[in-house]
Amino acid sequence: LGEGEYPLKGGINESGSFMNMSNATLAWEALSKLDFWVDINLWSCPNNGTADYVFPCTHWLETNTGRVSQGAGGIFGAEPCSENMRQEIADKLGIQYCDVYGLSEIMGPGVAMECAERGGLHIAEDQFYCEIIDPETLEVLPDGEVGELVITTLTRECSPMIRYRTRDVTTINAEPCACGRTHRKIGRLLGRTDDMLIIRGTNVFPSQIEDVLTGIEEVTPHYHIIVETRGGMDALIVETELRPE
């Protein structure tokens, strides 16, 4: 790219597979070296549209060669992102941001999907039965309470899963949705039971720290969490980077 007798200055792609069917790191490196790039469907596969890949590209679109999408939508899963980062991706790309939830042990993406109302992710209840439990006592919790998501497959014949513990922390909402769908919804994931930190008696999830950082314009959403013991008490230190001038 940019070298040799005939350096490549730009490109046009129609297949929609540039990012999601290739190495995302190499794809981003290529994008950053081009003068322009037109892609009709940059992220076409929902299961590969992770925020970690997309967020750096929003900065690239701020250059004078970038053009945000018109009336397009993006389906993002695989890794959670904070509400602030989600809104920034939507604003910079000019798209409607929709979450999709899934896990490899169950079926991958498609267990639950967000609608245009953005009030949670509708569970595919003809395929899965979802419950919220207390991760310590395993007691089933009523709708609306925060706990660990447990999933039972209803139609899988080869390898059914019964009350599979996902370790994902969320809620279930059974209230009617303005979109008209009647399936219950899970809330956006709050974290995982196995990445929760307990600092001086307070439960802290990395997603909460990210939500604070993405609300500060002067810093990037890339951070490092350090837990130390000082004077017999746990101390949490967050290292992050300043945005370039």
Mean pLDDT computed over 38-49: 44
Q: Give me the pLDDT at residue 47, please.
A: 33
State the pLDDT at residue 112.
93
Could you report the per-residue pLDDT of 120-144, keeping only the tens digit for each? 999 999 999 999 999 989 999 999 9
Is the distance from CB of 148 to CB of 133 less than 8 angstroms? yes
Q: pLDDT class for 19, splitting at 50, 70, 90?
A: low
Dig out the tokens for 90 from the structure: 């939507």
Say how far residue 123 (Cα) sits from the centre of its chain: 17
Are the C-beta atoms of 69 and 97 separated by less than 8 Å?
no
Q: Say what the pLDDT of residue 229 is.
A: 82
The residue ranges of DSSP E strands in 115-190, in sequence order, are 121-123, 128-133, 147-153, 164-170, 172-173, 185-186
